Each structure stands twice: as C-alpha cells, then as structure tokens.
Amino acid sequence: MTVVANPETKAQQFVNLLLATWVSVICFWAWTLIGPLSTQYTAAMKLSTTAQALMVATPILVGALGRIATGLMTDRFGGRTMFIGVSLASIAPVLAVGYAAKIGSYPLMLVAGFFLGVAGTVFAIGIPFANNWFSPQRRGFATGVFGMGMIGTAVSAFFTPRFVKWFGLFTTHLIVAVALAISALLCVVLMHNGPRFVPNTTPVLPKLKAAARLRVTWEMSLLYGLVFGGFVVFCSYLPIYIKTVYGFSAVGAGERTAAFALAAVLARLLGGTLADHIAPKYVVLASLAGIAVQTLISVFKPPADIWSGLTFLPLAVALGIGTGGVFAWVSHRAPAGSVGSVTGIVAAVGGLGGYFPPLVMGATYDPVRNSYAVGLLLLVATAVILFCYTAVFLRAKEPIAAQPPSS
C-alpha cells in the first residue's frame, strides 16, 4: 500500500531535504577547499605538477573510500546522526588545512587533506536519507535535490580565493569550520529520520559482502565512477587547468570553475527528475554521449572565453545529468534495506573516479605543447566504452521484483 503524504508530512519532507542539502553544500565546500588555492600553494611551496596533483587528490581518495563506511552506518544509525557526526568530524581537518597552508608545510597539508576527506563522505548519507522520506516515484527528484549540494564545489571555487583576499588565509578556514558547526546544530534541532527508516542492525561485514555481490552495485559503480568522478576531477583540477592552459589568475580560474560546478549541479536535478519520467538508462546514455563529445572538443583547446565556455559548460551539464540519472537508477534497482550499502559502494567508486584523473592529468601534462590531451583522450575513451556497455547490456526496465516495495 502506498502512503499518501499529508500536508504535515510534505512540510517535513521539504524541511529535511533542504537541511540535508544545506549540510551537503557546506561539506562539499570543506572537501574541496584545497583545489581553488592549489596554484598559490604550489608557487609558495615550490611543488612539482605531480606533488600539486597529489595534494588536490588526497581528500578525494579518503572521501571516496569513507563513503562505504558512512553508507553502512546510515543504514544502522540513520541520516540525522550521520549528518551531525560528519559535520563535526570535518571541523578539525578544515582548521588543520588552513594552518598547514599558513606555515607552508606540504607534509602537514597532505596529512590534513587526508582527514579532510571525511567531509566528502556526506554524499553516501543523503541518498538513503532522502529515500526514507520519499516514495519510489519521487526518489529521482529527491536525490536530485540533495545532489545539488554539490554546489558546494562552486561555492568553494568562487568564494574561497575571495575570502582569502578579504579576510586572510586561516580566517577563511575558520569561517568554513564555523559553518560546519552551525550545520551540525541545525541538524540537532530540526532534522529527523524519514518515516520509512528502520535501523538495519545486521552485522556490517556480511551486509557489505551482500551488497558487493549484487550486479547492480558494480554496474552503477562503473557509471558513477565516470560521471561523478568526472565532476569531482574537473571541479578540483579545473583551476589548475584554466590557469595553466589559458593563463587566468586564481580568482579568474575560480569564477570559471564555479560556473562549471553550478551548471553541473543544476543539471543533476534535471537528470534525477528526467529519470522519474523516462527510463534512467536513456538519461545516462545521453550523459555519456555528451561527455565523450565535449571532452574530445576540449582536447583542441578552444580559445577563451566564448568557445571554451561552449565546450566546458555543456560538458558540465552532461556530467550533472549523468550523476542525477545514475543515482535515480540506483534507487530503482537496489533492494530495499540495502540502499545505504549499495549507495556507499557506488559513491565510493564515484569518488575514486575523481581521485586518479588529477594524478593522470599531472603525470601526462605536456609542458612543450602546454597540453593535457592524453588525459582528456583517456576520458573520451572511457565514456565511449561505458556508452556501448550500457546500450548493449543494461536493461531499460527492471523486473517488478527488483523494485523497492512501497510502504
């Protein structure tokens, strides 16, 4: 039997979804604090391109792997507890990154960046949290709205360099730390777990193994590794790319990265909403095609700003639609009671998809031609391969038994 939400429930859905999205915005801002200032750190610490890439990629790695744990813990403890915990646990690493940057210590920056990855685990909390508040027919919309929390990357790209200019380096990190503390307090006061939430108290390891044995877990992981990983890598590495290839300042690169992230975030909501009305498979296929075409165009370094904008903004839209489509597909296909476990693995692989490309981009950069063509072509090839696999091997509609039951 399907539950028809009364007005009070609808208001609660609205408040809890918006609050979860807000927490995601702040955590994503914290998670991507290093990227917008990485060119400044590189100059101050005299880093190589490889060391620079490692500095940017380290929080991404931890944020990726940590999502497995947060997904499992969300199934057991609920989204409210986990949102509070992740927000509070991210405060110290944010301050440590600011201190490392202030004293110019690269080793401390790597250690602080490692723990900063905790903030990036927030995504694995929001998907099961939203699923517990919304019926299966509205989960594409709900996960799309929550996914807009990725706008925190745009906030970071746009405001972090400006805040450093206005308030100073460490004070900027202190502002983000305060925002995390306020977010945790709001969750304590206002947030509740959804009516469909039932604590899953089964042992963690068997549950993780069960999720890992599901074919849907790895099919969705491959797709999300490209679409979300592509989003993360561009949002983290684009300031470096833009400054290197086009010669913009840190502020100018941040503005353009923010525009890229904003376009992707808005497109994520579009992708999730479309997946409520048409088969998610076709949403994902459109995304993969767009990624391949627009990345191929970027190989030829279209001149700034009009032609480069017409290249990277559609790429952002393609990535955003893909992230919304894939997680709507996860909500349709994952067995009831395992959404958090499956989400944790899928989100982890998505984060890993954002970890390796910065290292590849740094390692394959051609200083003679001032070109990242090799790394970009690898992304094109991956998108084409996954497009073919999705088109041929994945069903547009799942058997009825595979659908999560209505409460």
Q: Domain ranges in the chain? A: 7-402
| CA–CA dist 71, 66 (Å, integer) | 9
pLDDT tens, residue by residue, 260-300: 988 998 898 888 889 888 989 999 999 999 999 999 999 99
pLDDT tens, residue by residue, 375-401: 999 999 999 999 999 999 998 765 543
Is the pLDDT score of 82 beyond 90?
yes
User: What integer pLDDT is reported at residue 4 of this predicted model?
Assistant: 46
pLDDT tens, residue by residue, 297-325: 999 999 988 999 999 999 999 999 998 89
User: What integer pLDDT is reported at residue 2 of this predicted model?
Assistant: 44
* pLDDT band of 404, cuts 50, 70, 90: very low
* pLDDT band of 402, cuts 50, 70, 90: very low
Q: What angle do CA 327, 157, 146 make, to 5 degrees?
A: 25
SS3 282: helix
Q: What angle do CA 351, 353, 355 make, to 5 degrees?
A: 75
* pLDDT band of 189, cuts 50, 70, 90: very high
User: What integer pLDDT is reported at residue 363 of this predicted model?
Assistant: 84
The whole model's pTM is what? 0.75
Is the pLDDT score of 255 beyond 90?
no
* pLDDT band of 57, cuts 50, 70, 90: confident
| CA–CA dist 36, 159 (Å, integer) | 9
User: What integer pLDDT is reported at residue 405 of this predicted model?
Assistant: 36
| CA–CA dist 296, 142 (Å, integer) | 32
User: Looking at the chain, how many residues does it have?
Assistant: 407
Is the pLDDT score of 201 beyond 80?
no
Is the pLDDT score of 73 beyond 50?
yes
Give the right CATH number for 7-402 from 3.10.20.30, 1.10.287.810, 1.20.1250.20, 3.40.50.720. Answer: 1.20.1250.20
**How confident is the prediction for the chain on average, in pLDDT?**
86
User: What integer pLDDT is reported at residue 1 of this predicted model?
Assistant: 40
| CA–CA dist 14, 147 (Å, integer) | 15
Q: What is the CA radius of gyration of the chain?
A: 20
pLDDT tens, residue by residue, 204-235: 778 788 888 888 899 999 999 999 888 878 87
Six-digit token pair at 5? 């939400």
Least confident of 27-31, 177-181, 185-189, 363-367: 363-367
Q: Which residues contact 230 (CB under 8 A, 6 or more apart)?
A: 291, 319, 353, 354, 357, 379
Average pLDDT over residues 148-175: 90
